[in-house]
Amino acid sequence: MRIIPAIDIINGKCVRLTKGDYSTKKIYNENPVEVAKSFEGAGVEYLHLVDLDGARSNQIINYKVLEKIAAKTNLKIDFGGGIKSDKDVYIAFNSGAKQITGGSIAVKDKAMFDNWIAKYGSAKIILGADCNNQKITISGWQEECSVEIIPFIKMYRNNGISNVICTDISKDGMLQGPSYDLYEKILNEVEGINLIASGGVASISDINKLEDLGCEAVIIGKAIYEGNIKLKDLELIA
């Protein structure tokens, strides 16, 4: 299973939130490039980079951070947050992203998101399916929709999507374990997807359980920054 550390950006700094609440922002490092290099030094190949300013705006904001990390590491970066137009997609790929994640746009403008899948290929486009009580949540998790997560993923699976990041917002940043039941339900009901689990990971045992469930990858954030999972642990499993 792929191990994908996360870097969330507000005002160019590496931060973490709890349950997506911007008022809980905690700054862990003012130099995201330094953090990315430490991940690479632990043998990690992948990085999940989120522009939290962009997520609740109408466009990408922190693409310069993406540029710097891409220029100074060999990490394969998936980038999300604020990608809401063809121009944003161009900026993200031109700044060094290997993949982009679309969440809000996949809800608000299906035609545009479908066009990205067709234009760039499903290997480069990730569906962001973040939810609360199994309802899709968008706009930096500030807006809950009536869209149910399973039909949402199924719809885009039928349109060619294969990579899906799913965060159960109630688990995010809590360090109390991932949403195993939700991931098991998704994997049982939607065939042929690479499910990337995100939110709640607190230990190596959580990672092992997600692998046993059949998740293709796991995103780890606060557990690393709070020291629950050490970089040396990542060296053993990366």
Catalytic residues: 8, 130
Do 158 and 170 contact (CB within 8 A), yes or no? no
The helix/strand/coil state of 50 is strand
Q: Is the dihedral of CA 64, 67, 73, 74 positive or negative?
A: positive
The helix/strand/coil state of 216 is coil
**For 58-68, b where at least 16 C-beta lie within 10 A, e where not — what string?**
eebbbbebbeb
Beta-carbon-side half-sphere exposure of residue 174 (alpha carbons within 13 Å): 15
Q: How far apart are CA 126 and CA 204, in angstroms?
A: 25
Q: Which residues contact 150 (CB under 8 A, 6 or more apart)?
A: 134, 185, 186, 189, 190
Strand ranges inside 69-193, DSSP E? 76-80, 99-102, 125-128, 131-132, 135-138, 143-148, 163-167
